Amino acid sequence: MEKVNIVMVGFGRVGQAFFDLLQSKYDYCRRRYGLFLEPRGIVRKKGSILLSSTQRVLSPSYFATDDLHDLAEWIPAITLADLLDEFGSGVLVECTPTDLKTGEPGLSHIKMALEKGWHVATASKGALVVQSSQLKSLAKEKNLLIKASGATAAALPALDLGLYSLAGAEILAIEAILNGTTNYILTRMAEGFTYKKALEEAQQKGIAEPDPSLDVEGWDTAAKIVLIANQVLGTDFNLGDVQVRGIQGISREVIEKARKLNKVLKLFGKCYREGSDSPWKIEVGLALLDDDHPLARINGTNKGIIFYTDTMGWVATSGGKSDPRGAAAAMLKDIISIYWRNT
Amino acid sequence: MEKVNIVMVGFGRVGQAFFDLLQSKYDYCRRRYGLFLEPRGIVRKKGSILLSSTQRVLSPSYFATDDLHDLAEWIPAITLADLLDEFGSGVLVECTPTDLKTGEPGLSHIKMALEKGWHVATASKGALVVQSSQLKSLAKEKNLLIKASGATAAALPALDLGLYSLAGAEILAIEAILNGTTNYILTRMAEGFTYKKALEEAQQKGIAEPDPSLDVEGWDTAAKIVLIANQVLGTDFNLGDVQVRGIQGISREVIEKARKLNKVLKLFGKCYREGSDSPWKIEVGLALLDDDHPLARINGTNKGIIFYTDTMGWVATSGGKSDPRGAAAAMLKDIISIYWRNT
């Protein structure tokens, strides 16, 4: 039995889902893994909350309110540094919004946590896209782990597969469908929709943002494949290294042509190299897949990734909820894997 | 940097492939994971071999010869117990033939290894089908790990997914295609072959055994789904608990009927329960899948598994070489995951 201190920073949709999950899974994690996962504090932009263990059973909406000044537990003076110092060690759960240019504010939070001896589980991509190798060196030096399942494709176990299940094999190439919005649009277009109509439907369903550019121009896929490559292949890519082509304004004819060839079009993030000594290349763009390609049937908002290896052949994984609850579940998994050895 | 002693028992196709792989990956594992994976001895029915580290670079065929008496390194008097005592700790790599009734000889080897403080990586199913919970208790008591990736579906990361990637999620059901021979036959039948012709072709290609009954009657699938359930769900099934229906003699009409409904037939190993407090059920039989089922396109000798969960939705994995080299790669992965924390 082990107590694990958890400090959260960021309390948007993913943060709230994580806090909710942590409470509902508290007893399960104690029974199954011998871990007491104790939320100790939540740092929001508008102020922070110190939790005593008796306060564990609180609804996320309680913290989500803007009117925190009315709450007794509301301690505006407490900073992230205070909380990390107070509890000494544990896991920082990073859920602040992603900034792909600066990596902030996640970058500063993650650095601070590592310097103070805390492991990190992050749902925020920015820091690992911008300063992957520096953060990895810092973690290694301190003998700590940075886990980023929640930042790549929510509950799709992309990093687990690359780092854990393929250990000992050399990865020759990676192909991945990592963006639900674009995959949904392409799926609907293969069913007969125009780009415009498919996008509108995705927006109505809350799948696509009102401004869908980050998704449809391929940048979300680019950030995720950069993160995966840096974690799994040990590269030091950033967004500027990726050749990015999105799907914006793609015509029905292109989709139809693919269908007539018995093929499908998918937006891929790809890593490959010419030979085992050549440098890795990374790109995002439409890929024309044979019908029996393992990712050809990943439809709708589903995601998938395939690794080609020297000794294991190809190994693919697909599925995994891609909503805030899926991302939260991925972070919980990461925390468990830091402490639990699967005996 | 850590030295890991490895003692092997059994030296058939998988054992030889593992030994070969260990030599070719020695430097890679040192560089990438900081692990010196040192083969210390090989126990065969016909006698054992003690390896000094300078003897590491030897071809498997050197050991595979029946004429071991001519070899200087051939030490017939050395037993598994001697080797485990001599080197004190490390990993026992179990590659003896599977006996699904008694679990022997693997069962005795694994017990001995655990009692002497050794971790276990096994490619042999028998012991974990026959005495799963006893072996797990023994391992837990000794703070050791039993890893069985190589025993389930070679390089398909079925156990990794269930134990590691889904940590914290509750598994609601499992469905899996775990037998290459039957999946090959069903794939060819969907393409127009009769059962007889598909089986003959599989035998000619070395996919099916001359006596294919273990595969086509569903017992291989049954053993694998029992092993997966016992490891992942903590059940204590044995083969007698499984309702098993194979594919022997299945008619073209059945396959054709499925095709007309735009569905496919696959031989599934399945675990499910009525409610979260109901007992688990386990069965093997043909499943009629919708065309968009994540396992519907797992064709030929490929394998796949899907887990349905409470918090992550469904997560599937497919692929992974299913030949001796794939099983060897799975055991190497298991050994690395015992010692390496993926920083």
pLDDT tens digit string along A154-171?
A: 899 999 999 999 999 999
Options B147, B224, B266, B303, the catalytic residue: B224
**Given an 8 Å threshold on Cβ–Cβ distance, is B316 in contact with A315?**
no
Sequence-distant contacts of A276-282: CB under 8 A, at least 24 apart: A276/A170, A276/A172, A280/A229, A280/A233, A280/A235, A280/A237, A282/A225, A282/A226, A282/A229, A282/A235, A282/A237, A282/A241, A282/A242, A282/A243
For B10-38, how does the pLDDT look when each residue is reduced to its tens digit (9 = 90+)? 989 999 999 999 989 999 999 999 999 99
Q: Which of residues 121-160 of A touch B (CB under 8 A)?
A: 136, 139-140, 143-145, 155-157, 160
Enter the DSSP assignment of B126.
Answer: H
Residue with tokens 């179990």: B94
pLDDT above 60: residue A52: no
Reported confidence tier of residue A326, pLDDT bands at 50, 70, 90: very high
How, if at all, do strands B91-94 and B74-75 pair?
A: unpaired
B174 contact residues in A (CB cutoff 8 A): none
pLDDT for B73? 53
The mean pLDDT of A5-30, rounded to a whole number, is 93
Percent of chain B predicted with pLDDT > 90: 80
Q: Three-state DSSP class for B238?
A: coil
Q: CA-CA distance, B183 to B179, in Å (whole number)? A: 6
Q: CA of A84 to nearest chain B CA: how many angstroms apart?
A: 21
Residues B200-214 pLDDT 10s: 999 999 999 999 999
Exposed / middle / buried, residue B2 (Cβ in 10 Å: 0-12, 13-18, 19+)? exposed
- The separation between CA B197 and the C-alpha centre of its own chain, rounded to angstroms, equals 28
Nearest to residue A190, comparing CAs of A288, A268, A320, A322? A288
Using the predicted structure, report yes or no on whether residue B56 has a pLDDT greater than 60: no
Kindly provide the b/e burial profile for residues B147-165, where b requires at least 16 CB atoms within 10 angstroms of the residue's own CB. bbbbbbbbbbbbbbbbbbb
Helix/strand/coil for B122: strand
pLDDT confidence of residue B54: 45
Choices 3.30.360.10, 3.40.710.10, 3.50.50.60, 3.20.20.70: CATH for A161-318: 3.30.360.10
Contact B267, B186 (CB under 8 A): yes
- List the structure tokens of A218: 């391929």
Q: For the residues A84-113, what does the mean pLDDT come to?
A: 95
Tell me, letter by letter, the H, E, C secondary structure of B27-49.
Answer: HHHHHHHCEEEEEEEEEECCEEE
Write down the residue that tokens 């030929």 correspond to.
B300
The architecture (CATH level 2) of A2-155+324-339 comes to: 3-Layer(aba) Sandwich (3.40)
Which tokens is A64 given?
């989500």
Active site includes B224? yes
The verdict on a CB contact (< 8 Å) between A332 and B165 is: no
* HEC profile of chain A: CEEEEEEEECCCHHHHHHHHHHHHCHHHHHHHHCEEEEEEEEEECCEEEECCHHHCCCCHHHHHCCCHHHCCCEECCCCHHHHHHHHCCCEEEECCCCCCCCCCCHHHHHHHHHHCCCEEEECCCHHHHHCHHHHHHHHHHHCCCEECHHHHCCCCCHHHHHHHHCCCCCEEEEEEECCHHHHHHHHHHHCCCCHHHHHHHHHHCCCCCCCCHHHHCCHHHHHHHHHHHHHHCCCCCCHHHCEECCCCCCCHHHHHHHHHCCEEEEEEEEEECCCCCCCCEEEEEEEEEECCCCCCCCCCCCCEEEEEECCCCEEEEEECCCCHHHHHHHHHHHHHHHHCCCC
Give bridge partners of residue B36 from the DSSP assignment: B3
> Measured between CA atoms, how close is A70 to chain B, in angstroms?
33
Does the structure show a pLDDT above 60 at B76?
no
Q: CB–CB of B303/A310 below 8 Å?
A: no
The tokens describing A25, both together, are 């899974």
Contact (CB<8Å) A168/B29: yes
C-alpha distance from A237 to closest chain B C-alpha (Å): 18
The nearest CA of chain A is from the CA of B154 a distance in Å of 9
Contact status of B204 with chain A (Cβ, < 8 Å)? no
Phi, psi (degrees; rounded to nearest 5) at A280: -70, 140
Task: Enumerate residues 168 to 197 of chain A having a beta carbon within 8 A of any beta carbon in chain B.
Answer: 168-170
- Find the residue in B nearest to A25 (Cα): B168
Mean pLDDT of the region B101-111: 96
Q: Which residue has the tokens 């799994």?
A: A232
A202 pLDDT more than 80? yes
**Stated pTM of the model:** 0.94
More confident residue, A1 or B229: B229
For chain B, how far is it from start to end, CA to CA, in angstroms? Answer: 14
Q: Which of A291, A295, A288, A300 has its CA nearest to residue A315?
A: A295
pLDDT for the residue numbered A73? 53
Is the pLDDT confidence value at A341 over 80? Answer: no
Interchain contact A110–B (C-beta under 8 A): no
pLDDT at B62 over 90: no
Please state the domain extents for chain B: 2-155+324-339, 161-318
Residues of B in contact with A33 (CB under 8 A): 167
